[in-house]
Amino acid sequence: MELTEGSTTRAWVLHPDIPSDDARREPEHALAEAVSLAHALPGLEVGGSDVVRLARPHPGKLFGKGKIEELRHLVKHEDLGLILIDGPVTPVQQRNLEKELHCKLLDRTGLILEIFSDRAATREGVLQVDMAALSYQRTRLVRAWTHLERQRGGLGFVGGPGETQIEADRRAIDDQLVRLRRQLDKVVKTRGLHRAARAKVPFPIVALVGYTNAGKSTLFNRLTGAEVMAKDMLFATLDPTMRRIALPGNGPEVILSDTVGFISDLPTQLVAAFRATLEEVTAANLIVHVRDISHPETEEQAEDVRTILKSLGVQEDVPQVEVWNKIDRLSADDLDVARNRAERAEDVLLLSAVTGQGLDDFVAAVRRGIAGVTQVVDLVLSYSDGRKRAWLFDKGLVEDETQRDDGYMLKVRWNAQQEAQFHAL
């Protein structure tokens, strides 16, 4: 879709409420989220939004006659340039609706792809979004075919010109996907080298993950002093950011990673495309699941995040901490309830990334979470450091020792706590 630079397109958001759909979510909340998604795309002005109850989606046109008539008036009356359907729309439905309504139409996956393509800032991000968009397009090729067939007046060779065209289009897309994959592999390999270099200065990786808008970047900024964009906007963050930091209060040092947020019904193409970026998550020593506990559907959001983590292949044995963020937005009663529940649960803590309340608990939880992570380092101790050397041996941390002119060279395996103790000797 092309939105003209500088000008705004007036859009209307529709959430089809189909009874068989995910019954966990209230359609009104789903609609509110879809409106937030629309706001996340620059150049769009949201004229309004509705839930459309659909007993059964019409195979060819999604909506029934009456609704289409109503929408045609709406388009005219509201001067709409775009209708956003918060759900899947088949290529045939899209074509028919666009024709009947004289208005462009975008479905949920299309909208998310548009937002991602607007946000992509790094080479890797751009490549990933391009791949996701192409893979999505590949599944919708029937559109090009019908379009073509119409142009040619439906004159068919054997097998039809459309068939041939579809094959050709598919091959072209496949070729392009192979090219993109190659470029992406190259970028990822370079990043892999960076990671290997980092591994030499081995600090535990702590990854912040969570639903979009949960407050990951706000927490990241508070801990690192970085200025990653943190905004009341869905998918504010697309590219992962990492910083090496010493946790407040005398370390230990960790690598903290801020990542792209998740959302319900995240297009599979996007999950696949972002697998490389999210490697930082799968390689993490500790996963911090940041939740907006003030959101009415925080439980559903958390479920979605867990499902996506699982699909990314995050091992169950990676330690996890759940951060219930935005407690400053809870009423006193709700805060009491949350506090009670958090106390009964394991590895759950309350936080406000904005006010800083609960930050000490968070740092303590991270410290506990990475306590089991050990690193191997080379240490050189001068001969006068006998006390330190004895301490290391006493704790059973030395794996190897060689003597040099200037002292001992020790290969030491320790966890962050032992490291801090050593430096305090």
- For residue 398, what is the enclosing H or E element? strand 398-404
The interface region with ligand GTP, picked from 18-26, 172-180, 206-214, 380-388 by CB under 6 A, is 206-214
Nearer to ligand GTP, 257 or 375 (CB): 257
Nearer to Mg ion, 100 or 118 (CB): 118
8 Å CB contact between 165 and 155: no
Residue from 61, 108, 119, 216 touching ligand GTP (CB under 6 A): that is: 216
Total residues contacting Mg ion by CB under 5 A comes to: 4
Q: Is 128 in the site for Mg ion (CB under 5 A)?
A: no
Reading the block at residue 41, the tokens are 């795309």
- Restricted to residues 246-285, the positions that interact with ligand GTP (CB under 6 A) are 261
Residue window 215-244: x/- pattern of binding to Mg ion, with contact defined by CB under 5 A: -xx------------------xx-------
Ordered DSSP codes for 294-344: TSTTHHHHHHHHHHHHHHTT--TTS-EEEEEE-GGGS-HHHHHHHHHHHHH
Strand order in the sheet with 9-17: 44-53, 9-17, 82-85, 104-107
Nearer to Mg ion, 104 or 216 (CB): 216
What is the number of other CB atoms lying within 10 angstroms of the CB of residue 276? 18
Reading the block at residue 88, the tokens are 């899947």
Kindly state the smallest distance separating residue 218's Cβ from ligand GTP, in Å. Answer: 3
Residue 118's binding partner among ligand GTP, Mg ion, none (Cβ under 5 to 8 angstroms by kind) is none
Evaluated on CA atoms 37, 40, 44, 47, the torsion sign reads: positive
Residue window 307-346: x/- pattern of binding to ligand GTP, with contact defined by CB under 6 A: ------------------xx-xx-----------------
Nearer to ligand GTP, 95 or 216 (CB): 216
Q: Is 39 in the site for ligand GTP (CB under 6 A)?
A: no
Rounded distance between C-alpha atoms, residue 69 and residue 16, angstroms = 16
Q: Is 237 in the site for ligand GTP (CB under 6 A)?
A: yes
DSSP code, position 385? G
Reading the block at residue 405, the tokens are 């002119």
Q: Is 394 in the site for ligand GTP (CB under 6 A)?
A: no
Q: Which residues bind ligand GTP (CB under 6 A)?
A: 210, 212-218, 230-232, 234-237, 261, 325-326, 328-329, 352-354
